[in-house]
Structure 1
Amino acid sequence: MASGGPEPNQAPGKEPPRPGSVRPTSRRLLIAIAVLGAAIGVTMVKAIESSGGVAPAVSWLTLIAWTFLAALLFMAARNTHQRIQVRRERIEPSRAVFLLLLAKASAFVGALCTGVYAGFALSFLDAVSASGPRNRVIMAGAAAVVSVLVVTAGLLLERACRIPEDPDETP
């Protein structure tokens, strides 16, 4: 643009992204996805129970799988941070794209699942005095917390994929 001002869709004070770059994941978008997931979780439980069915419970295997995924993402974030940010190593472009896509997908899916599990937990809060609903609230709440860890690990991996700015370095 010739005017020198910000582009129409751009907030003042922010630079446009460089060609070939990806914007960081918006925290607002992740929160909106989690709220949508909570609405889906509550609606799903109500729909299943209103049709005479029994809402599914969150199993231990689910918690173990999410915890394993979070641990893998945290390790990938640490390894990537060490390679790119600390040792300033170059990594293959295809690997960098893969890690960035994995990070973004993990953050989005983790946010959605956080909401769904929180919605499940909220659905059973009214009957928490009984042991069945109490166990459902505990397991769904634990799954929501572990899903938040997946989101956090995804965001850390995304941050680790950033190329450090070095004006002395020539491409």
Structure 2
Amino acid sequence: MSGGTEPGQAPRDKKEPPRPGSVRPTSRRLLVAIAVLGVAIGVTMVKAIESGGGVAPAVSWLTLIAWAFLAALLFAAARNTNQRIQVRRERMEPSRAVFLLMIGKASAFVGALCTGVYAGFALSFLQAMGSSGPRNRVIMAAAAAVISVLVVTAGLLLERACRIPEDPDETP
């Protein structure tokens, strides 16, 4: 049978609208667009601060540690949620599942924006890499951008872990 569907079932199209009460997975294109917007914000912010006679902020070690800690927490939550829902097929309190789903989505969006902003910071100081001050700023901002990508990844994994597995015995 073409389409690989069971008799009596309509073929499932990838563009099928979500069922009522369901949430679509986060679009990778949207995350890329948010990151590009973040780059523009980061570059513009540095130029605006410096054209006004100020000194652009630098990324600190504490920022890197905080982002890394957030990424680790999100990865742990994603692993735990995946084990509960996908592997052991345990039921989870609906409010908790929605909370974890929204944390995953929000983390992906904020992580994408911060990835772009930190990349914009790094790009702004790239032309002056010869001296140690700008070199350190580029390295710290690039490290923050990479760690922000880890936050995005962990958020997407948490979102994916919250999917309800389809029961092969259940028919709609």
Q: TM-score, normalised by structure 1?
A: 0.91
Q: Secondary structure at the match of 1:24?
A: coil
1:50 equivalent in structure 2? 51
Q: Secondary structure at the match of 2:56?
A: coil
Give CA deviations for 1:38-86 in whole Å, capped at 9, x if unaligned: 0000000000000000000000000000000000000000000000000
Deviation of 1:93 (Å): 0.5
Q: Secondary structure at the match of 1:55?
A: coil
Instruction: Please state if 1:109 is matched with 2:102.
Output: no
The one-letter code sitting in structure 1 at the alignment partner of 2:157 is L
Give structure 1 stretches of 5+ with no counterpart.
1-11
Q: Following the alignment from structure 2 to structure 1, what is the Cα–Cα distance between the partners of residues 30 and 130?
A: 35
1:93 equivalent in structure 2? 94
Q: Following the alignment from structure 1 to structure 2, what is the Cα–Cα distance between the partners of residues 52 and 38?
A: 22
Q: Secondary structure at the match of 1:17?
A: coil
Q: TM-score, normalised by structure 2?
A: 0.91
Give CA deviations for 1:71-118 in whole Å, capped at 9, x if unaligned: 000000000000000000000000001000000000000000000000
2:80 equivalent in structure 1? 79
1:3 equivalent in structure 2? none
**Runs of at least 4 residues off by over 4 Å:** none
Over the aligned positions, Cα root-mean-square deviation in angstroms equals: 1.4
Report how many aligned residue pairs link the two structures. 160
Q: Following the alignment from structure 1 to structure 2, what is the Cα–Cα distance between the partners of residues 72 and 116?
A: 22
Change in 2 beyond 3 A, CA 1:153/1:13: closer
Deviation of 1:169 (Å): 4.5
Q: Following the alignment from structure 1 to structure 2, what is the Cα–Cα distance between the partners of residues 31 and 13?
A: 21
Q: Following the alignment from structure 1 to structure 2, what is the Cα–Cα distance between the partners of residues 148 and 167?
A: 35
What is the percent sequence identity of the aligned residues?
A: 89
Deviation of 1:123 (Å): 0.1
Instruction: Please state if 1:130 is matched with 2:131.
Output: yes
2:40 equivalent in structure 1? 39
Q: Secondary structure at the match of 1:124?
A: helix
Deviation of 1:168 (Å): 1.6
